[in-house]
Amino acid sequence: MKKIKSGTILFVSCAMCVSIFSACSNTKEKTSNEAASTTAPTAAASADGKKSWEVDTSPITLDAYLNFSWFGNNWTDSAAQQITKETGVTIKISKPVTDDDQKLNLMINSGKLPDIVMADKNSPAWSIMEQKGLLYSLDELAAQYAPELLKDAPKEAFTNYKGEDSHTYKYVDFIEGEKYQQEAKKYNALVGTNQPEWSIRQDYLDEIGNPDISTLDAYVAALEKIKAKHPDKMGFYANVGDLTNDRDYQMGTNSMLPNFRYNVDGNKIKSGLRSDNFKQILGFMNQLSVKNLLTKDTFIDTKDIFTQKINSGKTISYAWAIGEGTKSPADNPKTSYKVMAPFQAYSQVRTGGGWNAFAIPKSNKHPERTIRFLAYMASQQGHITAKWGVKGDKYSGDIVTGPHYNVVDGKPLYLKEYWDVKQKDWSGVSAKNGLGEYWFATNTAWWLYPEWNNTDPSFIQYNKMFADKVKYMPELENLDPMPNSKEGIILKRVTDLYAQYGVKMIFASSKEESQSIYQEFIEKADSVGLPQVEAYWTDQYQKNLKRMGK
């Protein structure tokens, strides 16, 4: 919002008398859900320098619908009470019985929406609410009543999710934007326990002289030597299961051999099934099967069976994640699997797009208090109250009064004793102190700060190994069509074909046969309409680029 010169104050005051919500009138469709008239709002910040949420802390209750049946807290814990004390806002939470959008759709159709709506950012309900003009423009509300929100929120919250009119109607939480990436790298936290990797048994490597396995060919050669000594063991093992779930077409190779669902080809998006990377992955998996280093267990076993086989030591090497990468096999507890260094080609694509979102419907009679509440939650003080807890040097043993964290090297860090208790009984602790449960308007780095332990030597090393191979491409966010659309139905057919042909391609008797089956698969995928899906992806991709100013 531009600063107002002194000579225009009288004019602006008159304009506000005509319509105090003029800054928020930009809608796609007029509806009966227009905001109720109210008295002129208090300025965003008072003359004494108060934050916008401090201007009015009178008691108010806002109804919030969280479209997650599993959400556990109900604003009775100590964190919620402190938030209310600092803002005057009490949140009355409602949620669905099942996660099928049915309750939310009924509210949309009736036009009776609560003060705040929160749902998965990819829910079809968002586009419906936007098209019907049911939501306030958050950027305009913030500019008028709570400018701190525009400053404290990740910039991507107001650039990457704009509507067709260039306004933002939903605030997406847990965005891994530029600032987050910088902070995560600074504190060795970009790579965490869920980072994809391969592991291999150290004792078996020692048996063959601990050779260099930094290239794919060297790795396969090592597997062959170990397999010759341990013929009863599986060579390479992953937990793919049904290939319909193999969204990025990696066949279990976990970014060590990279591929992504969307293959950027100039200014177009092509399917990852056509990429050279996919062809390399297919060639590698076929090579393993021909050499008897891969079994169909990878495409049959459930997660539980997969875990059991690794724990028992039935495989030489497996693909999983860093947090599960150093297991000790039951047949030799004195050794362990080790996390392999990434190959030179390793690349993990992240969109960094968060996962849930909230909005303020026009049926909300107090949009100025609501946006100020959200500005508080997005502020550092809001993060202290909602996530960090009480600062102190020593944990008292009381999960409510804390202390919960201290500042180490300029960053909040949970006290080890408290964090250990939290990890053992997350839901039980959260029910009492509420810390980490109310994720309205999160700044992802601030939210995760107290969990990032910059002194853990293993993760310092893992970040050195993998961090530079993580690539963020937010422009590839949310490209898929609706499942019941023409393109969505085609995509489902292609996915089913992939599941049908994938295992055949992998377990073909030769490279030539595998390539022949692949060619047959691609031709069938094209015949059912894959180019139409690619055209849809390209259109969405171009829209994303335009929204992001790229």
CA angle, 483 then 485 then 490, to 5°: 75
Nearest alpha carbon to residue 93 among 72, 121, 123: 72
> Do 152 and 253 reside in the same domain of the chain?
no
> Do 242 and 347 reside in the same domain of the chain?
yes
CA angle, 278 then 279 then 281, to 5°: 65
Domain boundary among 383, 400, 428: 383
Strands 411-414 and 405-408 turn out to be antiparallel
Residue 457 lies inside a defined structural domain of this protein: no
Residue 365 lies inside a defined structural domain of this protein: yes
Q: Give 80-118 pLDDT, tens digit per residue.
A: 999 999 999 999 999 999 888 899 999 999 989 999 999
Q: Give 346-382 pLDDT, tens digit per residue.
A: 999 999 999 999 999 999 999 999 999 999 999 999 9
Q: For the chain, what is the domain count? A: 2
Is the pLDDT assigned to residue 461 strictly greater than 70?
Answer: yes
Read off the amino acid at residue 76.
T
Q: Give 465-521 pLDDT, tens digit per residue.
A: 999 999 999 999 989 998 889 999 999 999 999 999 999 999 999 999 999 999 999
Can you give the CATH number for the domain in which 309 is found?
3.40.190.10
Residue 411 lies inside a defined structural domain of this protein: no
> Do 117 and 162 reside in the same domain of the chain?
yes
Give exposure, 75-108, as e/b (b: 16+ Cβ within 10 Å): bebbbbebbbebbbbebebebbeeeebebbeebb
Q: Which two tokens stand for residue 390?
A: 């009480």
Domain boundary among 335, 366, 383: 383
Q: Give 499-510 pLDDT, tens digit per residue.
A: 999 999 999 999
> Do 85 and 202 reside in the same domain of the chain?
no
> Do 149 and 32 reside in the same domain of the chain?
yes
> Do 231 and 343 reside in the same domain of the chain?
yes
- Identify the H or E element spanning 314: none
Residue 17's Cβ-count burial label (10 Å; 0-12, 13-18, 19+) is exposed
> Do 253 and 311 reside in the same domain of the chain?
yes
Question: In this structure, are residues 252 and 500 in contact, taking their beta carbons and an 8 Å threshold?
Answer: no
Residue 35 lies inside a defined structural domain of this protein: yes
Instruction: List the domain range (segments joined by +) for residue 533.
Output: 196-351+476-547
Q: Give 116-128 pLDDT, tens digit per residue.
A: 999 999 898 998 9
Residue 104 lies inside a defined structural domain of this protein: yes
Rounded distance between C-alpha atoms, residue 414 and residue 392, angstroms: 10
User: What's the order of all strands across the beta sheet hosting 171-172?
Assistant: 89-94, 60-66, 116-120, 356-359, 171-172
> Do 132 and 264 reside in the same domain of the chain?
no
> Do 226 and 330 reside in the same domain of the chain?
yes
